[in-house]
């Protein structure tokens, strides 16, 4: 059975999607990266391989794409046919499912994005990776502080009768404001409802500032699991917000579809190393090059005793010699 593989490695989550040739998701994993993207990839591939074995499926992966902040690393580790940035991957997957989408809100564990699309073409985008107040890790932290399971957060928000107004501009202010409102006797429901509204306000005032927001609005990324945030978007925008079918793994789906598109355009054997990646030993290290005043920090990855990739060198001194070994097809900045 021919399949496509997409991997989206972010700082908080590592998402893996396996699609059939028609683009339908047949297996997926959403894992915590925990500061170790290679282990997260290996764990995800091992789980997917086991799932296929249990189902008696014999997958033939014909195209592999990687995206996310660790897309190059992931591409080298698994043998990707295409490495692509998150904006392209998210947009491609969303347009395929909701062809008339014009605005995508994507909020993940540690960053958030907005993508504007007109006539199925990305015309603008914005990203915020500086302030954590509008991201999943901030919500996780607050859920923990309030002693509430994060999966229940949305339901609490829906039960809010009078959501309190929380200063959501930065994590420090938001947290101290929440503590203050708690001390004033506000219910957990009203605090969480207020927090969801603050997060949306913060997102729209920062990531979406100055952008023309037109429906259909699509909301995806890990935080889109939270029904409270969806409702807060709908209340603020006074419009329906759509959550796509595979809302948590749209980046991985887009990477897989883009890889297939690329392989179809330039037919070739996939560079995928196979599910053996899950059982392969990889080691990474960084070192500084002192050959000139740039003092580049060089990243190196080894498979067993073999160096399979180096990057971070401005002049190519360390990476050039390895380039012919790499089968990853990408342009200079992965766009």
CB of 317 to ligand SF4, least distance (A): 4
| Residue (of 250, 321, 320, 277) closest to 73 by Cα position | 277
| Shortest CB 162 distance to ligand SF4, Å | 58
- Pick between residue 35 and residue 293 the one whose CB is nearest to ligand SF4: 293
Residues 236-275, mask of contacts with ligand SF4 (x by CB under 6 A): ----------------------------------------
Q: Is 198 near ligand SF4 (CB under 6 A)?
A: no
Q: Are 24 and 248 in contact (CB under 8 A)?
A: no
Q: Which of 1, 179, 214, 315 binds ligand SF4 (CB under 6 A)?
A: 315
Q: Is 319 in the site for ligand SF4 (CB under 6 A)?
A: no
Closer of 290 and 331 to ligand SF4 (Cβ):
290
Nearer to ligand SF4, 286 or 295 (CB): 295
Number of residues that bind ligand SF4 (CB under 6 A): 11
Tracing tokens 């790499």 back to the chain, one arrives at 326
Nearer to ligand SF4, 172 or 292 (CB): 292
Nearer to ligand SF4, 23 or 312 (CB): 312
Asked if 162 is part of the footprint of ligand SF4 (rule: CB under 6 A), the reply reads no
Q: What's the min distance (Å) between Cβ of 315 and ligand SF4?
A: 3
Among 96, 235, 317, 329, binds ligand SF4 (CB under 6 A): 317
Indicate whether 172 belongs to the interface with ligand SF4 (CB under 6 A).
Answer: no
What is the nearest approach in angstroms of ligand SF4 to the Cβ of residue 287? 10
* Contact pattern for ligand SF4 over residues 275 through 314, marking x by CB under 6 A: --------------x-xx-xxx----------------xx
**Cα separation of 191 and 179, whole Å?**
9
Q: Are 13 and 32 in contact (CB under 8 A)?
A: yes
* Sign for the pseudo-dihedral over CA of 283, 43, 6, 11: negative
200 DSSP assignment: H
Burial class (CB in 10 A: 0-12, 13-18, 19+), 31: middle
| DSSP letter for each residue of 168-217 | -SSHHHHHHHHHHHHHTT--HHHHHHHHHHHHHHHHHHHTTTT----SSE
Q: Is 129 in the site for ligand SF4 (CB under 6 A)?
A: no
Q: Residue 97 or residue 313: which is nearer to ligand SF4 going by CB?
A: 313
Longest CA–CA span in the chain (Å) reads: 65
Long-range pairs of 181-187 with CB within 8 A, sequence gap ≥ 24: 187/160, 187/161
Beta strands (DSSP E) in 86-208 are: 103-107, 112-118, 121-128
- Residue nearer to ligand SF4 on the CB measure, 26 or 307: 307
Q: How far apart are CA 286 and CA 300, in angstroms?
A: 6
Q: How far apart are CA 240 and CA 53, in angstroms?
A: 41
Q: List residues near ligand SF4 by CB under 6 A.
A: 289, 291-292, 294-296, 313-315, 317-318
């Amino acid at each position: 059975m021919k399949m496509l593989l997409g991997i989206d490695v972010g700082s908080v989550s590592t998402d893996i999607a396996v699609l059939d040739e028609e683009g339908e998701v047949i297996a997926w994993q959403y894992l915590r990266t925990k500061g170790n993207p290679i282990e997260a990839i290996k764990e995800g591939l091992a789980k997917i391989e086991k799932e296929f074995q249990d189902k008696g499926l014999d997958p033939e992966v014909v195209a592999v794409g990687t995206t996310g902040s660790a897309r190059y690393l992931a591409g080298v580790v698994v043998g990707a046919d295409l490495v692509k940035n998150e904006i392209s991957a998210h947009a491609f997957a969303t347009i395929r499912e909701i062809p008339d989408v014009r605005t995508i809100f994507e909020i993940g564990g540690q960053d958030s994005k907005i993508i504007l699309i007109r006539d199925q073409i990305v015309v603008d985008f914005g990203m915020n990776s500086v302030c954590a107040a509008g991201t999943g890790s901030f919500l996780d932290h607050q859920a923990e502080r309030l002693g509430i399971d994060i999966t229940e957060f949305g339901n609490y928000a829906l039960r809010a009768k009078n959501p309190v107004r929380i200063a959501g501009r930065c994590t420090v202010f938001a947290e101290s404001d929440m503590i203050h409102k708690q001390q004033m006797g506000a219910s957990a429901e009203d605090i969480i409802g207020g927090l969801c509204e603050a997060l949306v306000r913060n997102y729209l005032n920062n990531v979406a500032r100055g952008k023309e927001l037109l429906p259909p609005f699509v909301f995806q990324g890990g935080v889109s699991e939270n029904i409270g945030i969806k409702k807060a978007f709908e209340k603020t925008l006074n419009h329906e917000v759509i959550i796509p079918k595979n809302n948590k793994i749209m980046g991985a789906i887009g990477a897989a579809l883009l890889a297939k598109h690329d392989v179809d355009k330039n037919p070739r054997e996939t560079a995928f190393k196979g599910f053996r990646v899950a059982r392969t030993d990889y080691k990474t290290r960084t070192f500084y090059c002192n050959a000139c005043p740039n003092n580049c920090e060089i990243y190196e990855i080894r498979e067993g005793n073999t160096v399979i990739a180096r990057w971070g060198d401005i002049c190519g001194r360390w990476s050039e010699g390895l380039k012919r070994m790499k089968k990853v097809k990408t342009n200079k900045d992965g766009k």
